[in-house]
Structure 1
Amino acid sequence: MPNPNSPRPVSPAAAPIRVLLVEDHKMVAEALGAAFEEFPEIQLVASVETLARGMAAAAEQLPDIVLLDRRLPDGDGIEAITRLRAISPSSRVLVLTGDANSAIAARILEVGGAGLLLKSGLLDELVTAIRTVAAGDVIIDPELLGGALAMLAGSSGPLGPGLTLRERQVLGLIAEGAGTDRIAEELRLARNTVRNHVQRILVKTGTHSKLEAVAHARKNGLLERP
């Protein structure tokens, strides 16, 4: 029998979330870099000030998260999201902006961004957003979400091949605001299985995010949960 006084094995720490910061305001970049040092689960792998350097850093570092300023000296951050994701497909892009509206949110979702945050927000909100996006979810201010979904629903682009019963159930729960944990619990699925269903939904609907998939499904009448 094992000795009850023996030390318990220590499980290895989870790998940190690797973040690339693309921000041209030096004071903001330095402040965020210093702040992230207080959070061991976040590793700032590079901090650059232009889109061109961001592309190069993304190719070299393959970060989990790209924290991207919306306005940069050499271009629009939102327009660069598609290129960033082509360079590093596993990276998720979170846009930082000084102002936001539903049209901006819709643009970010349409090109495959994982969300947006106002620069005026609190550091804790940013850290929470990084964790949320790294876990596979999308983060959009609720006040902007309705308008963004309405714009995406009105865009062209048909849904792909029909969804399975399980995929429609998952999509219905996403539309209700459920995250991965709640979907897994309600449908009695493993978290990884939920993520796989979500990826298949995105492929079948030809969309880039869960919110965009919901908007398309609403437009095509596929949100009735069987």
Structure 2
Amino acid sequence: MSPPPAGSASPSIRLLLVEDHDMVAEAIGLALGQTDGVEVVGRSASIAAAVADTARFKPDVVLLDRRLPDGDGISAIGRLMAAAPEARVLILTGEASASAATRVAEAGGVGLVLKSSALHELEAAVRQVAEGGVAFAPELLAGVLDRLTGRIRLAGAGLTARERETLLLLAEGASTAQISERLGVAHNTARNHIQRVLEKLGAGSKLEAVAIARREGLID
């Protein structure tokens, strides 16, 4: 492939920002929007909006918040990639663990960046994934490889989507009755969901299940 003509600029990295907190989104969008070679083509505040905007804008990179009003960002990676197969999905999170990084990799994501990262680190991660690389911290990468190769079992790997919803509600302190109401299922069904979550996480109580889930990066 021949180089671009002298003086021509490289195409900008088209980035879609998915973040529901206005101040955080504004700060990140403003900072990255002023970065050479990066164009923020849109901002979404939910998974549903992100899927629609990904299909509409066809971004090169989707910078996706881990926790959104309508669900877990990691669980939405597949939907975003179906909307734009060429898009590279980079997760933005408040806390990182090898387990969370493994879930990102298994879902087809290409990196995980802490919200506490400096701007130059975020910018570097965006450029890295746009160029076809991955952006996992070295201390997480070893754990990702161990889990992906089966050397370490990922806790909660067998949770269904409904069981993950149940786990998130447990983390919010919801009772069985509240989970039944929030999920729109019978009380006995909610209780069965909770029991399966406990069994799959190897937990003896709801509190222990939430503690294990936090430790393993299943929830923030």
TM-score range, shorter chain: 0.5 to 0.7
Q: What TM-score do the two structures reach when normalised by structure 2?
A: 0.65
Residue equivalent to 1:76: 72
CA distance in 2, matches of 1:134, 1:11: 22
Aligned equivalents of 1:43, 1:130: Cα separation in 2: 11
Give deviations 1:25-55, integer Å, cap 9, x for gaps. 1101000111123213000000111001000
Partner of 1:182: none
- Distance, in Å, in 1 between the alignment partners of 2:39 and 2:69 is 25
Q: What is the CA–CA distance in structure 1 between the aligned matches of 2:112 and 2:50, rounded to whole Å?
A: 18
CA RMSD of aligned residues (A): 1.2
Matched position secondary structure for 2:95 = coil
SS at match of 2:59: coil
**Residue-by-residue CA offset, 1:158-184 (whole Å, 9 max, x unaligned):** xxxxxxxxxxxxxxxxxxxxxxxxxxx
Distance 1:147 1:129 in 2: 19
Write the distance in 2 (CA, Å) between the matches of 1:121 and 1:73.
23
Q: Please, which runs of 5 or more residues in structure 2 have no aligned partner?
A: 152-220
Helix, strand or coil at the partner of 2:116: coil
Inter-partner Cα distance in structure 1 for 2:77 and 2:20: 17
Cα deviation for residue 111 of structure 1 reads 1.0
For residues 129 and 98 of structure 1, what CA distance do their matches in structure 2 show? 16
Consecutive aligned runs of 4 or more in structure 1 exceeding 6 Å deviation: none
1:132 aligned residue: 128
Q: Percent identity?
A: 52
Answer yes or no: is 1:120 the counterpart of 2:110. no
Shift of residue 11, structure 1, vs aligned partner: 3.3
SS in 2 for 1:154: coil
Q: Which residue of 2 aligns with 1:203?
A: none
TM-score by length of 1: 0.63
Tell me how far apart the structure 2 counterparts of residues 38 and 61 of structure 1 sit (CA, whole Å).
19
CA distance in structure 1 between the partners assigned to 2:33 and 2:77 by the alignment: 26
Q: In 2, distance between residues paired with 1:89 and 1:10?
A: 32
Aligned residue for 2:107?
111
| Secondary structure at the counterpart of residue 21 of structure 1 | strand
Aligned to 1:45: 41
The number of aligned residues is 147
Q: Which residue of 1 is the match for residue 137 of structure 2?
A: 141
Counterpart Cα distance in 2 of 1:28 and 1:49: 11
- Decide which of 87, 101, 106 is 1:91's aligned counterpart: 87
* Cα separation, 1, equivalents of 2:33 and 2:14: 12
How many Å apart are 1:128 and its aligned residue? 0.5
The 5-angstrom pairing of residues 50-69 of structure 1 reads 50-69=46-65
Once the two structures are superposed, the pairs formed by residues 1-226 of structure 1 within 5 Å of their partners are 10-154=6-150
